[in-house]
Structure 1
Amino acid sequence: MSFKTILAVVTDQAHMSDTLAQAVTMADALDAHLSVVCIGVDRTQTGYYYAGMNAAVLQETMNHAREQAAELATAAKKQMEMSGLRWGVSEAVCQLADMSRYVAAHARFADLAILPRPYGDDRGIELEAATEGALFEGQSPVIVLPEGGAELKMPQKIAVGWNESAEALRAVRSALPFLIAAQSVHIVVIDPPKHGPNRSDPGGQLSQYLARHGVKVEIDVLSKTMPRVSDVMRRHVSDMNADLVVMGAYGHSRFREAILGGATRNMLETSEVPVFMAH
């Protein structure tokens, strides 16, 4: 398997330049085609008709979204013309409620999606919908970019968050091209279960599986010395100077993750390096 079609989704000018610059660097390293989807988001709530709002106002919100999509596409084409890649730029208008489905329709035929961080004070809710659409409905692995992170390139040192879940295994298999090419891969196991078939050799089976693919792999078993698993993982990623984290996405329901927090959400909010996820 190789990554030959990369999808980048842009919904606002604030994050477009950095997202495309990172996507261009990765597409160049992988010799891949880069597809850029520019979406003007109509934030009118579906099914609601506000008091005093008439058809003209509704049409105005749609026109604004069309203008936004056109502006994004024009700027994206200008940036892509300098890249020297095989690329394509498309534009569309999408209601917020339909965002996930629209992104998924493109992600289904991409090998990898590159998206900005979905959480944060300056992040619109459409970024979360785009990430979930690519991951869940589009069934595409996703690289989520950190805020102001280093240049995204072929990773040389990778940290794999391993908890024996189906989501983590799917992420590892999806990331194999990166894992094989890396100089070192660390399987990070935090507080392994005291009971179970792998209690005496946490991460051993995964290590064996990856070694047969030629991956240069090590196992790091850590104690949960901080309140959250994501905090331990993030500190270890910093200590080992990793340039990519591979992990499964949303082991619990997305509703529970959103309300109570979870390893996925916390990593995306705080990670200083790109996070590769699959579900």
Structure 2
Amino acid sequence: MPRGTVAVLATDATVDRGAIATALALTEADEAHLDIHCLGIESTPPDAFMAGPTLMLTMPDSEAARERARELETEIRPLIPAHRGNVQLHRHHIREGLIGHDVGRIARLADRIVAAAPYGHDARPLQVATLEAALFTGGLPVIVVPDGGAEIAARPARLMVAWDDSREAMVAVRAALPMLRRAGCVDVVIVDPEVQTGDRSDPGGDLALFLARNGARVEVSVLARSRFRVSEILRRHAFDTGAEAVVMGAYGHSRLREQLFGGTTREMLTDARVALILAR
């Protein structure tokens, strides 16, 4: 019996190829349904011009957006194995300026999203917009994978939880519980914890107990802040320990603050070397 729905919000067949491959592998292992949403997003052509005293503006091209959705479906369909009857492709026309609203409504009908890394060598504004729509408006977890995709076993050998005692981190842990229960080891990682009066003497102990009571096999790693950026410490630890994915809360600060000044979420997404399981 199929177990839930995984979705991919596709805007570019090349960029999203790794996400589609990962989603196909996950839904085959979990016997889940896979919905691939081909998004044709309106954009206003930058061809405003003066006609006498009047400024003429070209209106958003709705038909071009619909055609883009059809092209995406044509480009993506060959990536789906013929025997996979649990995969469906859907076309959507997304109105200009309403990506958050429209994509969020599509995303919320899935159990989790698989997405390409939104920051790469080239600008990926549509990937950023769809990821944020899934997290903020859709309100569901997103598995972000590197460009080549990621291998996440049905029973992962090792998963890592980036724990900072925040609400967002706890939401991510709860969202990932089914996968955490199946993992051979769940490594709760805390960087330079602040111990305040009344706190437990064992940082991460409360979360470790919560996970153990939910059937996970847990260890706790308390790391010193040996590097300037927390993201660098987390990436290095994930690589050194062979973690298949990192579970973490997304955008503990505002999106605007992270965009202007940086933040752990944005930095992890900028150089995504392993899968990131995000929620907020």
Q: TM-score, normalised by structure 1?
A: 0.91
When residues 3 and 161 of structure 1 are mapped into structure 2, their CA distance, relative to the original with a 3 A threshold, is farther
How far apart, CA to CA, are the structure 2 residues paired with 1:70 and 1:133?
22
Task: Give per-residue Cα distances to partners, 1:146-175, cap 9 Å, x unaligned.
Answer: 122443443321010001000000100110
SS of structure 1 residue aligned to 2:88? strand
SS of structure 2 residue aligned to 1:170? helix
How far apart, CA to CA, are the structure 2 residues paired with 1:182 and 1:13?
31
The answer to whether the 8 Å contact 2:162/2:169 transfers is yes
The answer to whether the 8 Å contact 1:160/1:185 transfers is yes
Task: Give per-residue Cα distances to partners, 1:30-49, cap 9 Å, x unaligned.
Answer: 1101011001122218xx98
SS of structure 2 residue aligned to 1:275? strand
When residues 227 and 72 of structure 1 are mapped into structure 2, their CA distance, relative to the original with a 3 A threshold, is same
When residues 212 and 99 of structure 1 are mapped into structure 2, their CA distance, relative to the original with a 3 A threshold, is same
Q: Alpha-carbon deviation of 1:54?
A: 5.9
Q: Alpha-carbon deviation of 1:204?
A: 0.2
> Partner residue of 1:84?
84
How far apart, CA to CA, are the structure 2 residues paired with 1:220 and 1:96?
45
Q: Alpha-carbon deviation of 1:107?
A: 1.7
> Partner residue of 2:262?
261
Alignment of 1:143-182 (within 5 A): 143-154=143-154, 155-182=156-183
How far apart, CA to CA, are the structure 2 residues paired with 1:251 and 1:118?
18
How far apart, CA to CA, are the structure 2 residues paired with 1:96 and 1:151?
35
> Partner residue of 2:48?
50
The answer to whether the 8 Å contact 1:28/1:85 transfers is no
**Structure 1 residue identity aligned to 2:70:** A
**Structure 1 residue identity aligned to 2:86:** R
Q: Alpha-carbon deviation of 1:145?
A: 0.9
> Partner residue of 2:208?
207
> Partner residue of 1:217?
218
SS of structure 2 residue aligned to 1:136? helix
When residues 43 and 197 of structure 1 are mapped into structure 2, their CA distance, relative to the original with a 3 A threshold, is farther
Aligned residues: 274
The answer to whether the 8 Å contact 1:8/1:20 transfers is yes
The 4+ residue runs of structure 1 with deviation greater than 6 A are none
How far apart, CA to CA, are the structure 1 residues paired with 2:112 and 2:99?
18
Q: Alpha-carbon deviation of 1:85?
A: 4.0
> Partner residue of 1:228?
229
Task: Give per-residue Cα distances to partners, 1:210-261, cap 9 Å, x unaligned.
Answer: 1011101000000010001111001000110101000000001110001100
Q: As a proportion of its length, which structure holds more helix?
A: 1
Provide the identity percentage: 38
**Structure 2 residue identity aligned to 1:14:** T
Give 5+ residue unaligned stretches, structure 1. none
